[in-house]
Amino acid sequence: MSEDIERVLVTGGAGFIGSHLVDRLLASGHQVVVLDDFSSGKRENIAQHTGDARLLVIEADVAGDLDAALDTAHAASPITRVAHLAAKVSVVASLEDPLEDLRVNAGGTLRVLEWARRHAVRKVAFASSAAVYGDVAEVPTPERAPCAPISPYGIHKRSSERYLALYAEVHGLPTTSLRFLNVFGPRQDASSPYSGVISIFFERARAGLPLTVYGDGEQTRDFVYVADVTDALERALFSSPDVVGPLNVGTGVGTSVNQLAAAVLEVLGAQLEVRHDEARGGEIRHSCAVVDAAAQQLGFHAGYELKRGLAEMIDV
Ligand code: UD2
C-alpha cells in the first residue's frame, strides 16, 4: 500500500487486535500513539516496540478525560488518523453491567469523535462487531440486514456506528465503521469461558486437554484471522472520505465448531478427545458475513483460510 508517513492514534492499542495493528502501522513506517488503560490490554503485547521512538504510549481510560494527554501528543506531532478499538469486549459482562458498557463503548466512542472533530483528523476507523445484527434471518449476512442486537454490547457498538456516520454527515469528519466477525489469532485472551473459542481450543490442545464443544457443534461462525483484520483496518484508515460503511470484515465462509475442533487437532498434530457439553443459552446458531462491500470499497479480501491462520498461531 502506498501511503504517506503519518501519525496514527490506536485506542486499545495494547489489546489483542490493537497491538497487531500497532505492529502493522509501525512496519508500514508510520508513527503510532497508543491509548490504553491496560484493563484488558497488556504491556507485553507491545513490549517488542520498547525503545522505538516512533511509538508513544498513553495510559488513560478512553471514556475519561482524554483531551490533555492527546493535545500534548498532538502538539508535538499531529495525529492525523485514529483507529478506535478501545472497548469492553465481553458480551456477557455487558449484560451484567450495561451502564459500564454504555460508559466505555458508547461514551468512549463519542469522546474519541469529539477529539477527532476538534483536531481535523483525516479519518476515524472504528471496530464494530457482527454483534450488531443479533439473530438475523439472512445468513450470510449483508450490511443492509436489519440490526436487532441482543446485548448491551451490540447496542452500544451499533450506536457507535451511528455516531460515526453522524459525525461524517454533520461535521464532515471522515469515518469508517468495520463490523468484525469472529476474530482469532495470537495474543487473544484464552482465560475466560467466554474467550474466543479458537483461543480456548488452542490452549487446551497444547496442554493435552480434551476440547469441549457446546451443543451439537453444528453451529457455524465466520472465523477471520487477525492479520486480515489489521489489513482491513489499515485500508479503512487510509480510505477515501466517502467510505463510511459499516463494512463487514470476515471471510464469507462459515465453519462449524465441530469442523473447527478437528482443524485445531489436525494443525497441532494432537489426538485428543472432543467432548460435547450442554449448548450455551441465548446463542446465535449461524453467523457468516457477505464480504462484497469491503472488497469493492476497500479492496479487502481475507487472505487466510482457517487452517492457514491456525498454522501461524503455532509459531507464536
Ligand atoms: C462472538 C464474539 C462476541 C460477540 C458475538 C456476537 C468472540 C470471541 N466473541 O461470540 O464478542 O461479538 O460473537 O454474536 O469473537 N464454543 C464451544 N466450546 C468452547 C467455547 C465456545 O463449543 O470452549 C462455541 C460456542 O458455543 C459458540 C462458538 O464456539 O457456538 C463460538 O463461540 P465464541 O465465544 O468464540 O464466539 P461467539 O460467536 O459466541
Q: What are the phi and psi torsion angles at 198 (to 5°)? A: -70, -40
> Do residues 175 and 126 make contact, with C-beta atoms less than 8 angstroms apart?
yes
Residue 64: predicted pLDDT: 93
Give the CB-side neighbour count of residue 38, counting CA atoms within 13 A.
8
Q: Concatenated DSSP letters for 76-126?
A: HS---EEEE------HHHHHH-HHHHIIIIIHHHHHHHHHHHHTT-SEEEE
Q: What's the pLDDT score for residue 71?
A: 97
From 197, 211, 219, mutation site for ligand 1 pocket: most ligand atoms within 8 A of C-beta = 197
Q: What is the pLDDT of residue 21?
A: 98
Is 130 near ligand 1, meaning CB less than 6 Å away? yes
CB atoms within 10 A of CB 74: 19
Which domains, from first to last, does the chain contain? 7-183+224-250 (3.40.50.720)
73 Cβ below 6 A of ligand 1: no
Q: Which pLDDT does position 65 carry in this prediction?
A: 87
| pTM score over 0.95 | yes
- Pairing of the two strands 123-129 and 175-180: parallel
pLDDT at 2: 55
Ligand 1 centroid to residue 214 C-alpha, Å: 10
Three cell numbers written together for 307: 487452517
Cell of 275: 467432548
Nearest to 129 by CA among 104, 151, 102: 151
pLDDT in tens, the chain (316 residues): 557 899 999 999 999 999 999 999 999 999 999 999 999 999 999 999 999 999 999 999 999 989 999 999 999 999 999 999 999 999 989 999 999 999 999 999 999 999 999 998 999 999 999 999 998 889 999 999 999 999 999 999 999 999 999 999 999 999 999 999 999 999 999 988 779 999 999 999 999 999 999 999 999 999 999 999 999 999 999 999 999 999 999 999 999 999 999 999 999 999 999 999 999 887 889 999 999 999 999 999 999 999 999 999 987 7
Residues 6 or more apart whose Cβ sits within 8 Å of residue 76: none
Ligand 1 closest atom vs CA 283: 39
**Under 8 Å between Cβ of 28 and 4:** no
Across 191-313, the runs of DSSP E, i.e. the strands, are 211-214, 220-221, 223-225, 247-249, 255-256, 274-277
DSSP letter at 188?
-
Ligand 1 in reach of 175 Cβ (< 6 A) = no
Query: What is the best residue among 184, 213, 221, 276 to mutate for testing ligand 1's pocket, by most ligand atoms within 8 Å of CB?
Result: 221
